[in-house]
Each structure stands twice: as C-alpha cells, then as structure tokens.
Structure 1
Amino acid sequence: MKFSKCTENQKFGGACIAIFMLGTGSAIASTGNAPDSVVAKLNMALIHSMKMGPSSSYKSRFHALYPEMIHAYDFSKIAHYSLGTAWDKLSAPEKKQFVQALTHYSVANYAAHFT
C-alpha cells in the first residue's frame, strides 16, 4: 500500500490545526501581549498625550509615547521590510543605526501630531 505525499496546502492546514490545538491564544493572552492589550495600551498613551494639551512640550509627549510604541511596533522588522534587499547589504552597526533612526522618527511623528 502506497501513501501519497502531502501537498503544501495539506501541510499548511495541518500546521494551522496543530497550532490552534496547542492553545497559543491563551499563552499570548497570559503574557499581556495579546493584540487587543497592546493596542489598548498604545491608545491610552496617545489619549494621555493629547490630554497633556498644547501647553505640553514635544519632549514630554515623546517620552510618554516611546515605551508604548516600541512595545506595539516591531521596528526591526519594519526596517527590514522597508529596505528590502538593501537590508542584507548593511553591516550590523548600520542595521542598528537604521532601526534606531526609524524608531526615533516614528515616535517623533506621533509626538508631533498627537498634541
């Protein structure tokens, strides 16, 4: 009796079922990193920034938003996808510098607009 090889779709479907059955959703929720929790924390930080009002300094808004933004966004992956194949040509220090610049720019943009 011969068994046929699994197709890629069957392998993918099996992997999805296995992940579902392992209950990864509860593991994510228990760590406090559930997507709704991350978004809620970022929204609270943005609302706090706006409640600080126009009399608040840019610097204070930046520092209020920074921790939640680095938690909500994976700036390393964003940087990698932004640069595409050019990412592979950068040295490790250049990659780190680019990620830091992207992170700073992103937080600065939020701090400037959520007044």
Structure 2
Amino acid sequence: MKRALIGAILAIFAGIAPVIPSAAAEQPSSTVERLHNTLLAVMKEAEALGFGGRYQKLLPVISEEFDLPFVAHYTLGSSWDELSGEQQHQFIETFRELSVVDYARNFDGYSGQHFTIEEETPLPRGRVRVRSKLIDPNGGSSVVFDYLLHKADNQWQIVNVIANGVSDLAVKRAEYRHIIKAEGFDSLLSKLKEKIALYCQQAEASSS
C-alpha cells in the first residue's frame, strides 16, 4: 500500500498521471435487474399505488433502461426520415407513454412471483441477450424473457423484449409500418393515443 501511494505521489510530481484502477464495467444484466426490481416493487404495491401510481413509478425507470428513441426510430424504418423533427419527437413521447402504460397495466398484482437471470449471451454488432424468467411459485406458468441490449452513451439499454418467443419489437414494427405507409403519420399517432386511452380506462376500471 505504501509503495503504491509513494509511486502515485512521485508520478504526480513527475507530471505523469498515475493509473488508477477503474470500477468493474457494468454488466447488461444490471440494467435488466433494475427493471425487474422496479416491476416487483410495483407489483407488491399495486393496489395501494393504483394504475396512476404504478405509471409514475415505472416512467423514469423505463425511460432510463430502454433506448426508446432508438426503438421508436427502428419501428418506423425508412418512414422515420420522412418525418419532421417535431413529428419524431411526438412519436417518441407517444411511444414512451404507451410502453409505460403497457407495463403499468400488466404488472398489477403480486402473489409471490420472482425474477431470475439465467444467462448473458453475446450477439453480433456488440449486442447482448439477457435471458430471465418470471417464476410463479403457485404453480402458474413461468414466463421466459429475452432482453436484447446495446450500449448507448456508455450505458447498456434494452432495445427489445421477447416474451415466450414473441418479439415485442417485431409485432410493433409490422403494425406501425403498415399503418404509416397506408394511412400516414397522423393516423398512426392517433391510433396509438386511442390505444393508450383504452388501456388506461381498462386498467382504472379493473382497479376500482
């Protein structure tokens, strides 16, 4: 310890920056675990929070752990470049709202479930798949989640969730691209807002 300290001091006086060991790089599974921890907290407090409370608790976490601008861009494909900056912003924010509403309405109760992290698998183009399970101790079916992540601004963020083999991104991409090409951007945005309103009504009705 003394030698290391003396070496660092001598390096400073010599005008040479000492090499300080950096903290271990964060793993992709850390992103998934933060999402899981929030989902479990929301599930456990579901009744007390209500739908609106669940939404508010999930909003900052989903905004942080998902690369929503990237996903929004990807779902529209070549149509994205035809939108104005304001339209792109509108779509990202509507997409964000729909994503949070989806989680808030689906994770609305708790009966002992827990998440496990099964494995991390490197993928092409620097991406990683984190496989996890939502396990129901009461004999219900477990749900297998495959999270696809990439690194943006030196942070691992989720770009797709595959639940029991069904890709959320693939479903949205097919639906949204069809609507925007057939009916235009305004129609797509209107349909998404209608879906948000419907989901909110259904969630609030079920909790009342």
TM-score by length of 2: 0.39
1:23-61, Cα deviation, whole Å (9 max, x unpaired): xxx4x42xxxx3121111110100011001334311100
- Which position in structure 1 is the counterpart of 2:73? 80
Higher helix proportion (structure 1 or 2): 1
Aligned partners of 2:46 and 2:54 also within 8 Å: no
- Which position in structure 1 is the counterpart of 2:104? 111
Higher relative contact order (CA 8 A, sep 6+): 1
Aligned partners of 2:55 and 2:101 also within 8 Å: yes
**Which one has the largest radius of gyration?**
2
TM-score by length of 1: 0.69
Q: Which runs of 5+ in 1 are unaligned?
A: 1-25
Partners of 1:90 and 1:53 in 2: CA distance: 38
The reply on whether 1:45 has 2:38 as its aligned counterpart is: yes
Runs of 4+ in 1 over 3 A off after TM superposition: none
Q: Which runs of 5+ in 2 are unaligned?
A: 1-23, 109-208
- Which position in structure 1 is the counterpart of 2:28? 35
Percent identity (aligned): 32
CA RMSD of aligned residues (A): 1.6
Partners of 1:56 and 1:68 in 2: CA distance: 16
Q: Tell me the matched-pair count.
A: 86
Higher strand proportion (structure 1 or 2): 2
